[in-house]
Structure 1
């Protein structure tokens, strides 16, 4: 039987993993786990031990406390986390060669309606 905290932590693992554009297979391989085990963590069916959670936080470059509910107000709440479209936009931006980024920013600024 899973506890609500296990489900919450699992959801946060999935959200942060997706935000970092990391597949279940990639993260599972880094943890020396099967994709199925990681999937069980993300759904809250299996409890993540603290050492695994620490490794996940380091791999995703986030604070381990961000997985826990009492830190939601200090960090990003699940509701305010960027949408999949925003995450995709960020990913595209990261792929642009540095020399083209100023032109890209200028283009985006030119299409944003001004108030």
Structure 2
């Protein structure tokens, strides 16, 4: 049986890998393992050792603590009522975030304000 912490860490690995545009194969090569092992980490099927998590954090250019962010929220279901608790596991949401950050900053601010206004109306 998978442990909730292993599942959470795996989701954070997948989230960061995807946001950086890296494939499982590319991450595996940087860490020195097979891509199947990355798959197992991302699903929580295999537990990531401390040293391997260190290597993964280096490859993904985040601190090790990144993989534990939001863990407190996962204990009780996490998230708010209007946002699914696994929002970062949703490919559409990740596509939206990636596209959003590809927009020039001044236009991004305007889009953000528009989204805020639209969400207040809904």
- State TM-score, norm by structure 2: 0.64
**Which stretches in structure 1 are left out of the alignment for 5+ residues?**
94-103
Decide whether the 8 Å contact of 1:65 with 1:71 is kept in 2.
no
Runs of 4+ displaced beyond 2 Å: 77-83, 111-115
2:95 counterpart of 1:84: yes
Q: Which residue of 2 is the match for residue 44 of structure 1?
A: 44
Q: Which residue of 1 is the match for residue 23 of structure 2?
A: 23
Structure 1 residue 4 displacement after superposition: 0.9
| Gap change, CA 1:80 and 1:47, over 3 Å in 2 | closer
| Gap change, CA 1:105 and 1:4, over 3 Å in 2 | closer
2:54 counterpart of 1:54: yes
Q: Which residue of 1 is the match for residue 8 of structure 2?
A: 8
- CA distance, structure 2, for counterparts of residue 54 and residue 32 of structure 1: 13
- State TM-score, norm by structure 1: 0.68
- CA distance, structure 2, for counterparts of residue 6 and residue 59 of structure 1: 19
**Which stretches in structure 2 are left out of the alignment for 5+ residues?**
75-84, 118-122
